[in-house]
Copies of this chain bind each other. A is one copy, B any other.
Amino acid sequence: MKADRIHNFNPGPAALPLTVLEEIQENLLDFQGSGMSITEISHRAREFDDVINDAVDRTKRLLNLDDKFEVLFIQGGASLQFCMIPMNFLPEGRSADYVDTGTWSTKAIKEAELQGKSIQVVASSAAKNYSYIPKNIAFNSDAAFVHLTSNNTIKGTQWAEFPDTKSVPIICDMSSDMMSRPLDVEKFGMLYAGAQKNVGPAGVCLVIIRKDLLDWIPDTVPTMLKYTTFAAKNSLYNTPPCFAVYTVQLVLKWLEETIGGLENMAAINQDKAQLLYGFMDGGEFYRATAQADSRSMMNVTFRLPNEDLEKQFVEQALANGLGGLKGHRSVGGCRASIYNAVSLEAVEALVGFMKTFEKANIE
């Protein structure tokens, strides 16, 4: 770690690999010998074509996607996807199943309802404060799709395995765990992820869509809100968020070439999560809030004995070079987001600080 950088446990926007930031910095005034910044070159230039094509190719390789899938870059974050999904895939007469596992699932459900679409919430963990992932769900076999949120950033839960929905495709918000582990893509009709957690900076949403779903889309959907527009033009119908796509490309390159792919990444992420949960489970001062079988490998939510100690913990951690540990304002407590770019060393430093803080504050 450079002396002036901190360990960054922010929930998103979040840590990026330092080597990625250094490469951006080095080339910011002259991209690939063009004499222009990446922020100044045309999105129709060969240089940018190489960037976006490489980002698409790396996504396909990392996730083992075959030609059934399109890789798209869309602005507006996962929140815009919440409205685009029912707009594109729920024409009159069709219905979809949604599972409610917390804030982001709930928002996705609300956007479908706002459009007067027919949906059914087939499972919810709301009654237990979203502290677990539902099991044994009875999905409707005639649903157009099943919508899931793979990782719940705020509540600290994650689907360890995805349910069997038979022939019904899963559409999954993977904003906070995309590219953190290998995937069996055969279950999915669409995956999407706001980039600002594991994949890049804020300002672009990675959308992976099975091509046959594109045939469902009504002609009446506005041009910028239909997936076919992006699929037909390699995400270049209009000017894309060039800097964000470029940063995503570099993060994917780091994942492939430095980390060595998603199997390796998942192993590192397991080690990080195990270290943190294992430490907390070994004592009573820190208490992980999610049920053990539903714990997130990305967002570790926890409480201290009281709110006053939590406030001191967050402040003193920052003073010790450990940032972003405050829980989401809607739930309080503490949270360590340990996305791909957060190193094992950072988690070790956090656990070291947690031990010191506990010792200083236990009676």
Contacts and interface: CB of A to CB of B under 8 A. Distances in A.
Interface string A18-52: 10011011001110011111011111100000000
A77 B244 CA distance: 14
Given A223-B111, A323-B35, A241 B29 contact: no
Interchain residue pairs A-B with the least CB separation, the first 3 = A203-B241, A6-B35, A83-B222
Contacts of A5: 29-30, 35-36
A11 to B, nearest CB: 7
A130 B362 CA distance: 76
A314 to B, nearest CB: 13
Interface string A63-92: 000000000000111111011000100000
A238 interface: yes
B16 A37 contact: yes
B77 A4 contact: no
Interface of A: 2, 4-6, 8, 10-16, 18, 21-22, 24-25, 28-30, 33-37, 39-44, 75-80, 82-83, 87, 107, 110-111, 114-116, 194, 196, 201-204, 220, 222-225, 237-244, 247, 321, 323-324, 329
Nearest to A107: B223
Given A16-B37, A43-B202, A222 B114 contact: yes
Given A10-B42, A43-B202, A323-B35, A76 B243 contact: no
Nearest to A4: B30
Dominant SS among interface residues on chain A: loop
A202 B239 contact: yes
Q: Which of A11, A37, A324 has the most chain B CB atoms inside 10 A of its CB?
A: A37
Contacts of A247: 39
Given A25-B28, A29-B25, A40-B8, A238 B77 contact: yes
Contact of A79 (B40, B237, B323): B237
Nearest to A28: B25
Contacts of A111: 222-223
A243 B10 contact: no
Contacts of A11: 42
Nearest to A24: B28
Given A220-B114, A222-B83, A239-B12, A2 B25 contact: no
